[in-house]
Amino acid sequence: MVTMQDAAPADGERAARSAGAAERGRPEITLPRGRVLLVGTGAFGVTGLPSWALLMRMWYGWSLRAGLTHSAAALVSRDALAAATQAPVEGPEWRTSMGVVPHLELAEWPDLVIVAPATTAFIAKCALGMPDSLVLSAVLATRAPVVIAPSIPESTLERPAVRRNLEALQEDGFHVVPPRPGVSAHKGGEIASGMPDLVTTLRFAQHVLERSPAQG
């Protein structure tokens, strides 16, 4: 008799196989202090940010911090993200009780910033220099390389204003990962334009860092 347990691997085993396959393709990245700030905004892909953090810690041994916009905080568990990064989650509130200016302290901390996913609204505000959250203020204030992984619907990408904002970010020194096919939550799993995956984003970051001056 074949049981369900015999017929398919357990969830943990499937996750381990998937992580192992991804690790074999992971880029080699060296950071001066091993510090990465993850910024999540309000697209469905933010639900995977704890897994991204856990894999980056496992692969590279980096110190990670994460910050969320208001809309992202409604989609992903802060407790899961804190456990994955082993650090308190920053934002959306400004916690001045810690005795620091929060967005400037956060901006000075990392060697690399990864915004994943980056929504159309976040991209527009960033392109216009209009911060309305702790993490967007930190992204605008940091001197670390900022890699932005957009999550923008295909129909929205066709808008000239959206394309102008993406171009403006790149002209201003931000690094935008080209969109890739992804699963649409709206269309019940249909393949559509989506956020780049972790390995693609890290490979893009590797090229950015190789072209950038050494970070002190």
Terminal Cα distance for the chain, rounded: 62
Across the chain, mean pLDDT equals 85
Q: Determine the average pLDDT of the residues in 143-168.
A: 94
Tell which wins on pLDDT, 173 or 185.
173
pLDDT above 70: percentage of residues in the chain:
79
Tell me the backbone φ, ψ of residue 3, rounded to 5 degrees.
Answer: -90, 170
**The architecture CATH gives domain 33-211:** 3-Layer(aba) Sandwich (3.40)
- DSSP structure string for 157-198: HTSHHHHHHHHHHHHTT-EEPPPEEEE-TTTTT-EEEE---H
pLDDT of residue 146: 98
Q: Residue 127 above 70 pLDDT?
A: yes
Tell which wins on pLDDT, 194 or 108.
108
Cα separation, 176 vs 49, in Å, equals: 18
- pTM for the model stands at 0.84
Q: Residue 2 above 70 pLDDT?
A: no
Cα separation, 201 vs 195, in Å, equals: 9
Tell which wins on pLDDT, 215 or 30.
30
Domain boundaries, the chain: 33-211
Q: Determine the average pLDDT of the residues in 65-83.
A: 96
